[in-house]
A and B are shown apart, each in its own frame.
Chain A
Amino acid sequence: MYTAKPLPEVNLPPLRVVGKPLRRVDALGKTTGALVYAGDFSMPNMLHAKVFRSTQASARIRRLDVSRARALEGVVCVLTADDLPDAKLVTDMPGQTGQKQRKGSDAPVLAADRVRFAGEPIALVAAETLEQAERALELIEVEYEPLPGVFDPLEAMKPGAPVVYEPDNIVARWKIRKGDVEAGFAVADEIVENTFRVPFVDHAYLEPEAGVAWVDGRGVINIRVCTQVVEHFRSIARAVGVPHNKIHVQGTMLGGGFGGKEDITVEIFLALLAKHTRRPVKLVYTREESIQAHSKRHPFIITHRTGVKRNGRITAAEITMVSDAGAYPYLSPYVLLYATIASTGPYRVDNLKVDSVSVATNNPFTSAFRGFGAAQAAVAYEQQMDEIAKRLGLDRLEVRRVNYLKTGDRNTTGQVIRSAAWLEETATRVLEALGEKSEPPNEHVRIGQGFASYWQSYGRITWFHDTSRAWVGLELDGSAVIRCGVPDLGAGQVNSLCQITAEVLGVPLEEITIYSTDSALTPLAGTSTATRQLYMSGNAVYMAASNVRRVLLDRASKYFEEEPENLDLADGKVFVKSDPENALPLAELAGMCAADGLPLSNLALFRAPFTAKLDPENLRGDVFPDFTFGAHGVEVAVDTETGEVTLLKSVACHDVGRAINRAAVVGQIQGGSAQGIGYALMEEVQVKEGIIQTPSLSEYLIPTALDLPITQAFVLESGTGMGPFGAKGIGEPSLTPAAPAVANAVADALGVRIHSLPLTPEKVLAAVRGASEPESGEN
């Protein structure tokens, strides 16, 4: 039995609004249906679009004939690569950083003479009705000449393998060389080596990709779309061939993103069709098209070779990682970078060699997915820690405890951990809550418990020189307005900004209105990715609101004849701290400021730390602003006759720095757990010779309510994060430890380990029977 390690003393300033599980500002519109999602929006005179896609994974397009489609009644426009001579889809560096884009990161918007994956877009159709657009697709004739394809990253690296695009199939490589690995292995008592595999996974958000575009009276192409990145307007402008300021992205509230809406999806297609037809155009993917068209989580093959002392202390580690980048690079180099840096787990490894490579294949392309490579890394490093414990006969917590990173330690790239690293604190809480193993209900069932610790960065790679902007203003009636480009994925991004503003300005949450997610009308806040929005835009809003607060308190200090530090703002009033009855409504204060010509609004820019790009041959230096730490634990029941795994308990504990809205934090933890548990037990986009075998949600399974126990969430607050009020990030981290915790629990139940996810009944049964693992799902 374990007992929770006492927490170090923290003295967080008391807050009035921040931290409370208040009803989110977006809740009512969503529950009443008043909120208009991307796919629900229509305009008069609107056309309906469809995309014609390749059925081949690797082929030359010998002939493409769209004449019958063009002639069909109701069809207004059919576009092929011939109509778009230079249209390229930039797949690198979404966002605002202005850094140079990688060479070779472009994909054609529409394939011209060659297709590299099944699902690659070839032609666009716009018609008066959706039925006509669908019928037009059936009339498009294409003749393919099959070309040899490559579907396995290991094969793709071999000499003579078909080259997906020039010069070779190596999309990215990163290396870490730290300390003296040979010397480290020489002093090891044991060397443990394992290879782990993870599959393609789909984001399976509730809301498939959708949008409407139209050209307005100024000639601006407006695109109302669900996206994680409104800053794509620049790449869209380039692809469409118009100046940046002629594309206006109006982002909508998302029904989930998880990284799948981080890359451009429907935007360029919509902009092109609107430009060509001068009519509003709508494009909504079906679930099947969504699965075919958007990125997948990278499959990885990860090998750990770890030297350890008898007490569990790691003396050296050699780690190799191979990821399948699919047919175009997209964010593969950066996903691989995250995986590389996270590869050791939250452990001090002084002698370290990491070699990672991302490889092009003719499989579906892969890109961002909640956890962004660090989640794949965790599946490997946490199973490896359990294998080390098993080999040494040590307790699973003990083996981790002697290696856990501490504040002040240097990580894989030599970056110093500056915030709290509550690894033991979180792990022991999870273990304590799991308690004793349940009794198996009968002799076919074995019970197992497992847990995983993790670390995950929040905020973007610091050599991207990330910034966010926000505008906060007080109205004359005492209400407040926020303008910030932040996209809300459904995770509560805009609500957090409102709660922060409510705290700083003393304006009740219900009296705050936020305008967000607009590339032209709201200050650019950067991507809702990389667990960065609370950190980046939270700080920007905090700065802007604090600047307004200063003006208000200065003016109030004249009125009350009190120093500003003796005054405070709350509940729509300014008041004297020592005599709260002595108060003035904010509306009156705002009126006084306006009469004096004082600024009641402020536009602030927040900068993350800026660092230089690291040497890919040996990553050394700072790469991330900071890290979140935590743990997840589960108990499983494994049926040894059918291989079915049932989750009995799920417990998570994360140090979130500071919870801005506690209910939203718990929601993130429970949602992330569900996604991680699905990753462990059932989710796999099966791909055979480049063709997806799980084309709909009837074949691609995600967990249902009956597959998931309620995850008990412990929310710890060290107050040491770099976000507002000491917040860290929890969006991605909440997923990361769940899958390895499940894998460790299943291995605990069985006494043997299955080295590839998902842990299907078939693999579990094979493991029970000691047969070799079925090699399904590896390519």
Chain B
Amino acid sequence: MLPEFDLLQPRSLPEALEMLSAQRGGALPLAGGTNLVVDLRSGRRRPSLLVDISHLDELCAIRREGDRLVVGGGATIAQILDEPLIAEYAPSVREAARVFANPLVRNRATVGGNLVDGSPAANMPPPLLVLDAEVELSSRDGRRTMPLDDFLRGVRQTARRPDELLTAVRWAIPAPGSATAFYKVGLRKSDAIAVVAVAVLVEQDAAGVCRKARIALGSVAPRVIRAREAESALEGYPLTEERVAEAARLAAAATSPISDIRASAAYRRQVSESLVRRLLLAAREQG
């Protein structure tokens, strides 16, 4: 049963920001509602006011700005899946959208909601983390940007202040010679929560030396994490099988998974290692 709440439907972004700040933290933004409505029903959250931002067109655009891609905080997962720019420049982001929930949820669920919800199992953070994406947070008083890596804090915790909206996610289109990969293990082929999710990016020079490496893992720690030691172990070296295997070991060591009804911690750690190795080798071949 839904608890009682008031619902405001702002006509513009400034109006939405105004409403949020007037409430001094008592209000929650409502985007697709695919997390929030579930939370309301279960009683996990009891806000007195919802500010519906799902119809604000200015939040939904996906566009290219010079060498950067910009995704509006209100862009839906379905939009990501259909957007040629994403297919061309961010295939791993597209892949994460492809294995996201089911078509009904993808039509409602937004990128902003996915990041702000702060779930360690969310699909979109791993591929965005390896792209060094930044999030833009807006409030009545102004705008700030920060790396996604700083934005994600812990289980359902982010750096967002209650009066802020996540208005955009931005990242630089990877340099030539770069390749990315993403894979999510769930307990079924669709509509499954990630048991382990891994994204990687590698940039190789003409000699096959790795110039840049990024590894992100989901569902293996209180937040989606970067495996920095593993990344450092690759940068400046050719991506040999041994080096990749060593990086995979380091990445698995960086995880701190729990055991739950879906899988044990040991399984999550083992599969983290296998997937990091597998995805790095796949990216190496594409680069």
Chain B residues with CB under 8 A of A774 = 264
B263 and A761: CB pair below 8 A?
yes
Are B188 and A704 within 8 A (Cβ)?
A: yes
Asked if B245 CB lies within 8 Å of chain A CBs, one says no
B175 cross-chain contacts in A, Cβ below 8 A = none
The verdict on A703 contacting B261 (CB below 8 Å), with A131-B1, A444-B278 known, is no
Residue A701 is within 8 A (CB to CB) of chain B in the complex: yes
> In whole angstroms, how far apart are the Cα atoms of A681 and B192 in the complex?
14
Contact indicator per residue, chain B 250-281, by CB within 8 Å of chain A (1) or not (0): 00000000000101100100110011001000
Contacts of A769 in B (CB 8 A): 270
Residues in B27-80 with C-beta less than 8 Å from chain A: none
State in angstroms the CA–CA spacing of A698 and B193 once bound together.
Answer: 8
Q: Point out the residues of chain B lying under 8 angstroms from A644, CB to CB.
A: 185
Q: Are A707 and B263 in contact (CB under 8 A)?
A: no
- A646–B271 Cα gap in the complex (Å)? 17
Given A765-B270, A774-B264, 4 more pairs with CB closer than 8 A:
A644-B185, A704-B191, A760-B187, A762-B267
CB closest chain-B residue, reference A647: B189
Verify if B199 is at the interface (C-beta below 8 Å from A). Answer: no
Q: Show 9 residue pairs from A and B whose CB-CB distance is below 8 angstroms, ordered by the A residue.
A: A642-B275, A682-B187, A693-B261, A704-B189, A707-B189, A707-B190, A761-B263, A762-B263, A769-B270
CB-CB < 8 A to A355: which residues of B?
Answer: none
B126 to chain A, nearest CB (A): 16
- Whether, in the assembled complex, A130 has its beta carbon less than 8 Å from a beta carbon of chain B, the answer is yes
B179 within 8 A of A: no
Closest to A769 in B: B270
* B188: chain A residues within 8 A (beta carbon): 681-682, 701, 703-704, 706-707
Name A700-729 residues within 8 Å CB distance of B.
701, 703-707
Residues of A with C-beta under 8 A to B192: 701
**Cα separation A422 to B121 with both chains bound (whole Å):** 49
Does A134 count as interface, using CB distance less than 8 angstroms? Answer: yes
Contact assessment for A761 and B189 in the assembled complex, using a CB-CB cutoff below 8 Å: no
B270 surroundings in chain A (CB, below 8 A): 765, 769
Interface-central residue, B192, B195, B267, by most chain A CB under 10 Å: B267
User: Is A686's CB within 8 Å of the partner chain B?
Assistant: yes
B264–A762 contact, CB under 8 A? yes
Residue of A whose beta carbon sits closest to that of B282? A442
Given contacts A641-B278, A642-B185, contact A765 B271 (CB under 8 A): yes
Interface string of B161-198 (1 = CB under 8 A from A): 00000000000000000000000010111111101100
Residue with the highest number of chain B CB atoms closer than 10 Å, among A643, A646, A681 = A643
In the bound complex, residues from chain B placing their C-beta under 8 Å from that of A686 are 261
Q: Which residues of A contact B189 (CB under 8 A)?
A: 646, 704, 706-707
Contact A701/B187 with A641-B271, A693-B261, A694-B261 known, Cβ cut-off 8 Å: yes
Q: Give the number of chain B interface residues (Cβ < 8 Å).
A: 21
A706 partner residues in chain B, CB cutoff 8 A:
188-190
B23 touches A (CB below 8 Å)? no
A134 near B1 (CB under 8 angstroms)? yes
| B200-233 interface with A by 8 A CB criterion | none
Roughly how many angstroms separate A444 CA and B189 CA in the complex, as a whole number?
18
| In the complex, chain A residues 653-699 whose Cβ is within 8 Å of any chain B Cβ | 681-682, 686, 693-694, 698-699
B195 / chain A contacts, CB cutoff of 8 Å:
761
CB distance from B33 to the nearest CB of A (A): 16
State the CA gap A387–B106 with chains docked (Å).
Answer: 44
Question: Given the complex of chains A and B, what is the CA–CA distance between A104 and B130 in angstroms?
Answer: 63
Q: Does B107 contact A (CB under 8 A)?
A: no
Kindly list the 10 A-B residue pairs having the minimum CB-CB distance in the complex, ordered from nearest: A706-B189, A641-B274, A706-B190, A704-B190, A762-B267, A707-B189, A642-B185, A693-B261, A707-B188, A762-B263
* Cα–Cα distance between A693 and B261 once the two chains are bound (Å): 7
Residues of B within 8 A of A642 (CB): 185, 196, 271, 274-275
Closest to A697 in B: B191
Measured CB to CB, the closest approach of chain A to B69, in angstroms, equals: 28
Bin the interface of chain A by size: 20 to 34
Kindly list chain B residues whose C-beta atoms are within 8 Å of the C-beta of A701.
187-188, 192
* Closest residue of B by beta carbon distance from A762: B267
Q: Mark A760-774, 1 if CB is under 8 A from B, else 0.
A: 111001100100001
A686 to B189, CA, bound (A): 20
Judge if B12 is at the interface, Cβ distance under 8 Å. no
Complexed CA–CA distance, A701 and B261 (Å):
11
B102 contacts A by Cβ under 8 Å: yes
Question: A residues bordering B, Cβ < 8 Å?
Answer: 130-131, 134, 444, 641-644, 646, 681-682, 686, 693-694, 698-699, 701, 703-707, 760-762, 765-766, 769, 774
Q: Chain B residue with minimal CB distance to A700? A: B261
CA distance A699 to B192 in the complex (A): 9
Chain A positions within 8 Å of B261 at CB level: 686, 693-694, 699
Complexed CA–CA distance, A693 and B188 (Å): 18
Q: A693-B261, A704-B102, A774-B264 are in contact. Are A761 and B1 (CB under 8 A)?
A: no
In chain B, what residue has the closest Cβ to A641?
B274
**Which residues does chain A contribute within 8 Å of B185, judged by CB atoms?**
642, 644, 761
Q: Give the Cβ gap from B148 to chain A, nearest Cβ, in Å.
A: 26
Shortest CB distance A513–B (Å): 36
Q: How far is the CA of A131 from the CA of B271 in the complex (A)?
A: 45
In the complex, A705→B190 CA distance in Å? 8
Closest A residue to B3 using CB positions: A131
| A760 partner residues in chain B, CB cutoff 8 A | 187, 263
Q: Which A residue sits closest to B183, measured CB to CB?
A: A642
Measured CA separation A309–B196 after assembly (Å): 47
Closest to B2 in A: A131
Residue of A nearest to B99 (CB): A706
Contacts of B1 in A (CB 8 A): 130-131, 134
A632-B10 Cα distance, complex, nearest whole Å: 57
Complex: A708 Cα to B188 Cα, angstroms? 10
Which B10-33 residues sit within 8 Å CB-CB of chain A?
Answer: none
How far, in whole Å, are A703 and B102 apart by their CA atoms in the complex? 13
User: Which residues on A sit within 8 Å (CB–CB) of B193?
Assistant: 698
List residues of chain B with CB within 8 A of the CB of A698: 193
CA distance A766 to B264 in the complex (A): 11
Whether A761 contacts B190 by the Cβ 8 Å rule is: no
Q: Which residues of A contact B271 (CB under 8 A)?
A: 641-643, 761, 765
Q: Is the pair B275, A761 in contact by a Cβ cutoff of 8 Å?
A: no
Q: Give min CB distance, B122 to chain A, whole Å.
A: 15
How distant is the Cα of A304 from the Cα of B97 in the complex, in angstroms? 47
Tell me the smallest distance from the CB of B272 to a CB of chain A, in Å.
10
Q: Distance in Å from the Cβ of A720 to the closest Cβ of chain B?
A: 39
The reply to whether A761 and B274 contact each other, CB–CB distance below 8 Å, is no
Residues on A with C-beta less than 8 A from B264 are 762, 774
Q: Whole-angstrom distance between the alpha carbons of A134 and B42 in the complex?
A: 13
Chain B, residue nearest A640 (CB): B274
Tell me the bound Cα distance from A719 to B185 in angstroms. Answer: 47
With A131-B1, A444-B278, A641-B274 in contact, do A761 and B191 touch (Cβ < 8 Å)? no
> Among B196, B274, B275, which residue has the most Cβ atoms of chain A within 10 A?
B274
* Complex CA distance for A475 and B74, rounded to whole angstroms: 62
CB of A204 to closest CB in B, whole Å = 13
Kindly list chain B residues whose C-beta atoms are within 8 Å of the C-beta of A699. Answer: 261
A761→B270 CA distance, assembly (Å): 12
Q: Determine the distance from Cα of A507 to Cα of B48 in the docked complex, in whole angstroms.
A: 62
What residue in chain A is nearest B274 (Cβ atoms)? A641
Residues of A within 8 A of B275 (CB): 641-642
**Chain A neighbourhood of B278, CB < 8 A:** 444, 641
A703 to B192, CA, bound (A): 10
Which residues of chain B are within 8 angstroms of A641 by Cβ–Cβ distance?
271, 274-275, 278
| Residues of chain B with a CB closer than 8 A to A765's CB | 267, 270-271
Which A residues touch B274, using CB under 8 A?
Answer: 641-642
CB nearest neighbor in B for A133 = B1
Residues in B neighbouring A444, C-beta threshold 8 A: 278
**CA–CA, A762 and B278, complex, Å:** 18
Q: Report the bound CA distance from A698 to B188 in whole Å.
A: 12
A693 CA to B262 CA, complexed, in Å? 10
Assembled-state Cα–Cα distance A706/B187 (Å)? 12
Rounded to whole Å, the gap between the CB of B260 and the closest CB of chain A is 9
- Of the listed residues B185, B188, B263, the one surrounded by the most CB atoms of chain A closer than 10 A to its CB is B188
